[in-house]
Amino acid sequence: MSIQVKNVGEELRNTSKSLFSVEVMPPLKGQRVDALYSAIDPLMKLLKRYSVRKRPGTVGIAAAIRNRYDTEAVPHLICGGFTQEDTENALIDLDFLGIRNVIALRGDSVKNERVFTPEPEGNTYAIDLVRQIMDMNNGRYIHEGLDLDARTSFSVGVAGYPEKHFESPNMEVDLQHLKNKVEAGASYIVTQMFFDNQKFFSFVHKCREFGIDCPIVPGIKPITTARHLSLLPGFFHVDLPETLVKNVLACSSRDEIRKVGIDWAIQQCQELIEFGVPCIHFYTMGKSGSVEAIASEVF
């Protein structure tokens, strides 16, 4: 079976209509891969392509998804917990498997750490990871002097924050770091989730003013439970609009909350498509039901 490899960065730049991708959570250790497939199966009838969030050690998951669905899987590589050598080995495996699209991220601090601490001999910021991948694209590996002559051809996406990354002192500093990642070789940006489209529009505007001209893919997360009202702002450092919060609090059942979340996300997506986004990325957090309802309405 031959699988056509796509370059996500190029596709996003050239697409004439809005696409969509979804993020899936690999199964926990000990669970079978069927758990993952059961979350993806309902979406496949809707998906032309999608990206897959990668937890550490999930090169195999990306390969399994690719083999089963014959579509692009975009593993997420993080700095945290990995030496540069670990990363190089993972990238070599991905390259052997024909997986040519990755997202380069720093990762968050682990429990008991106040600030993010890189691994000794690991990458400190996402930009260092982007540079390492670009080095491999240029045939430069960690061990100098090895005549590997094997250039990889990874297309790299990076994260952006319409409401600013929480560690940045201000938006301008954050945008400068984002611009540096793009200049280092990233070809597109996927954003953190947001619930107010104006924040995304303003972010895109500022990026363009800053000279960041690559495709920017908005990240959408449907609210599915009342707990999200505190969990999402606490964990992802995002604001929830007053009306959305009010609508969720007025619900008397879980199904009603789910419907509020779906309706809100549909409205966001329709407006984003009208704005001309190249793709919408859905955060599923392991549950694909709401995303299925939204995507079948919007796409």
Q: Which amino acid makes up residue 94? A: L
Say if CB 66 and CB 4 are below 8 A apart. Answer: no
Q: Which of residues 252-291 bind ligand FAD (CB under 6 A)?
A: none
Q: Please choose, from the candidates 134, 158, 197, 196, the residue with its C-alpha nearest in 3D space to the C-alpha of residue 74.
A: 158
Number of residues located near ligand FAD, criterion CB under 6 A: 21
Tell me which of 152, 168, 202, 224 binds ligand FAD, using CB under 6 A.
168
State the DSSP H helix or E strand holding residue 76, giving kind and residue range, or none if neither. Answer: strand 76-78
**H-helix segments, the chain:** 8-14, 34-44, 59-69, 84-96, 126-137, 171-184, 197-209, 228-236, 242-249, 254-275, 289-298
Position 214 contacts ligand FAD (CB under 6 A): no
Stretch that binds ligand FAD, among 26-34, 86-94, 162-170, 221-229 (CB under 6 A): 162-170
* Nearest distance in Å: CB 78, ligand FAD: 5
Q: Which of the stretches 121-129, 146-154, 244-252, 254-262 binds ligand FAD when contact is defined by CB under 6 A?
A: 121-129
Is 49 or 181 the residue whose CB approaches ligand FAD more closely?
181
Helix, strand, or coil (residue 90): helix
Does position 40 bind ligand FAD by CB under 6 A?
A: no
Q: Provide the 8-state DSSP code for 27.
A: P
Q: Which of 6, 177, 206, 287 binds ligand FAD (CB under 6 A)?
A: 177
Contact set with ligand FAD (CB under 6 A): 53-54, 76, 78, 105-108, 125-127, 159, 165, 167-168, 174, 177, 181, 190, 192, 219
